[in-house]
Each structure stands twice: as C-alpha cells, then as structure tokens.
Amino acid sequence: MTTMPQEERVRFTADASTSRWVVARPWVKVVAVVMIASFFAFPLYWVVSMSFKPRPEWNPPGKVYWAPQSPTIDNYTNLLGLKSTEDSVFATQRSASALTPFKNSIILSVGGTLLALFAGIVTAYGIARFRAGGGLLPFQILQLRMFPPVAIIIPLLFFYVAIKLYDTYWGVIILYGAITFPFVVWLMRSFFQDVPREISEAAIVDGCTQWGAFFKAVLPQVKGGLAATGLFVFILNWSDFLIAKVMTTDVHSTAPVYLQSLQGGASGNEYGLQAALACLLILPPAIFGLAIQRYLVRGLTFGAIKR
C-alpha cells in the first residue's frame, strides 16, 4: 500500500505555482470535493425523495418540490401490492405487483452470475496457468463482447423459440452467463497471473491433485478479485433490459422491464412508483457490495500493489 499522499503527488506532477496553491489551501480541495460529490449524488437524492412523494407532488405543472411536502410510503406499498389505493386504478396494464419481476431479477441475475463465474474461472485459470487454447483464445473470448447483443437478439429469439428456451429461466440464465463470461475470463485471468505458479506447485508436491491445488492453494489467493468480479458481473446482469424484454413474457420478466411498464400508456408516467422501484433495485447490489466489502478493496486494487 504505497500510494503517495495526495499533496506529494500534486507536487511532483503539477508546476510549482499550482502545487503551492493546492497544498497551501486545503479548503480548496474540500470545496471541490463537495461540489463534485453533490453533482453526482443529486440524481440519487432526487430518486429517493421522489419515492416518498404523494402523486400530487410528482410533477405538478409550473412547480418543483425539492423535498416531499407530505412524505408517504404509499408508493412502496402500492408497488409491492400490499395496498390498493385509488391511485393505482389507472395502472391496469402492469401486473399486480413488482414482487414477481423482482424475484425473477434475483433468480436470473444470480443464476447468470454463478454460471459466468464458474465457466469463467475455470477458463481463466486454464489460460493463465496452462496457456490453454493458445495465445489467441483470450482475444477470441473477448471478441464475444465486440458486437452488441442487440445485433443478434432477434435471430436468437427464433432460435430460442425453436429449442424451447424462450420465456424460461434457463434460457435467460444461459444468455446472461454467456454475455458476462468474457469479463470473468479477462478479470480473473489477470488475478490468476498474479499468483506465482510455485504456489500451486507447492501444493501438488505436498500431495494435492491439480484440482485440489487449485481450490486449496490458488483460489484463496484471488478471493478479492473473485468478489470484485462477481459484483461487477452481477450488476451487469441486474441492469439488463434488452434480453429480458425480448426473451421473456410477464411470467419470467425482470424488474427493469417492469420499471419500463410504469411509464406511458393508459396510466401516464408513474414517477413515484418508478422512483420507489429504482430505490429497491439499488438494494441488492448495494447489499452484495457491503457484504463483500472486506475483499472488495483488495480486489479492486489487486494488480496495483507490488508485493
């Protein structure tokens, strides 16, 4: 952990006059940080505050409510189908509650992430440790990411219908896994490369099998990288809209698709409900992130530290 203190870095990189300015006036830095942070935090604030606003405060003509005037949790209860208020009378187009899409989102994202992690880790280790598939394989895998999913989603739809994977959990899980697989391979490969091969060899000489050495000696060294990769891939899958929209109907559809149904059509724009759902959607990645925070800091800075 040898990152230079901020001041030092400024002194080395900027010219003398700038550095004196920055170093001599720490409050300049504080003000700058506060400004930048507020700029990025404001949308989040807006969504959270909107989720507690009653319908009349959502988007009144010629008026802006910077904070809820009469805060309410109606948006949440309504969204989760706990209470049917007159507000939701218009909302006939959407399915009764956000619960099913939310559950689907979790099943599909977790499933896709686990699939990508498993296949990706094994592939990455093979490439990093045994040069499996030759020098080009990593790039061939990366190539999977070179064209946008939208380019193949329609042919794939016909294909899926034909092999009866359309509108199934497995169908989407496989797609999520396949699309995030290259990320896992590339991230994990570099983490595996940081582990000296003598570590796995020591385990082999000590009596482990090749697999045993991988699980007992190598994998524990990349816990941080694994956690970071898992979170990254989970967020990608969690925020997918296109695949779920095309490949599923209501039964297996996900929360982002549901979010879109809260807009337009007969019901108009249900800003409060959308905001409430957005707030709920933030929770799983946030919880996941907090749970693995201990590993995350190490994982994200992994390659940077010279040990």
Partner 1 sequence: MAGIRLENITKRFGAITALDGVSFEVADGEFFAILGPPGAGKTTTLRTIVGLEKPDEGDVYLGGERVTETYPGDRDIAIVFQNLALYPDRTVFKNLAFPLKQQKIAKGEIEERVRATARTLRIEHLLERRPAKLSGGERQRVALGRAIVREPEAYLLDEPISALDALLRLEMRTELKRLQRDVGRTMIYVTHDQVEAMSMADRILVLREGVVQQVGAPAEIYHRPANRFVATVVGSPPMNFLRATASWEEGTLRVSHPRFQVAAAAAHLRERLPEGAACLVAVRPEDVRVELAGEGMPATIYATEPLGGETIVDLNLDNRVVKAIASPALALSEDQEVRVHFEPRRLHLFAESGDALLSAAGEDVFAFTLAT
Q: How many angstroms separate the CA atoms of 57 and 197, rounded?
A: 62
Residue 227 makes contact with partner 1 by CB under 8 A: no
> Which is nearer to partner 1, 48 or 204 (by Cβ)?
204
Residue 260 makes contact with partner 1 by CB under 8 A: no
Residue 196 makes contact with partner 1 by CB under 8 A: yes
Query: Cβ–Cβ contacts within 10 Å for residue 114, how many?
Result: 16
Which range in 1-9, 195-203, 252-260, 265-273 contacts partner 1 by CB under 8 A?
195-203
Residue 148 makes contact with partner 1 by CB under 8 A: no
Residue 296 makes contact with partner 1 by CB under 8 A: no
Residue 198 makes contact with partner 1 by CB under 8 A: yes
Number of residues that bind partner 1 (CB under 8 A): 19
Residue 234 near residue 110, CB atoms below 8 Å: yes
> Which is nearer to partner 1, 23 or 208 (by Cβ)?
208
Q: Least separation, in Å, of the C-beta of 185 and partner 1?
A: 23
Which range in 9-17, 94-102, 219-227, 266-274 contacts partner 1 by CB under 8 A?
219-227
The position carrying tokens 């329609």 is 154
Give the rounded distance of the alpha carbon of 42 from its chain centre: 20
Q: Tell which one of 201, 251, 291, 305 touches partner 1 (CB under 8 A).
A: 201
> Which is nearer to partner 1, 80 or 208 (by Cβ)?
208
Give the rounded distance of the alpha carbon of 8 from its chain centre: 34
Which range in 97-105, 113-121, 123-131, 193-201 contacts partner 1 by CB under 8 A?
193-201
Q: Least separation, in Å, of the C-beta of 197 and partner 1?
A: 9
Residue 298 makes contact with partner 1 by CB under 8 A: no
Which range in 50-58, 148-156, 212-220, 252-260 contacts partner 1 by CB under 8 A?
212-220
Q: Least separation, in Å, of the C-beta of 124 and partner 1?
A: 19
Range 3-30 burial, b when 16+ CB lie within 10 A, else e? eeeeeeebbeeeeeeebeebbeeeeeee
Among 299, 294, 288, which Cα is nearest to 188's?
A: 299
Residues that bind partner 1 (CB under 8 A): 196, 198-199, 201-209, 212, 216-217, 220-221, 223, 307
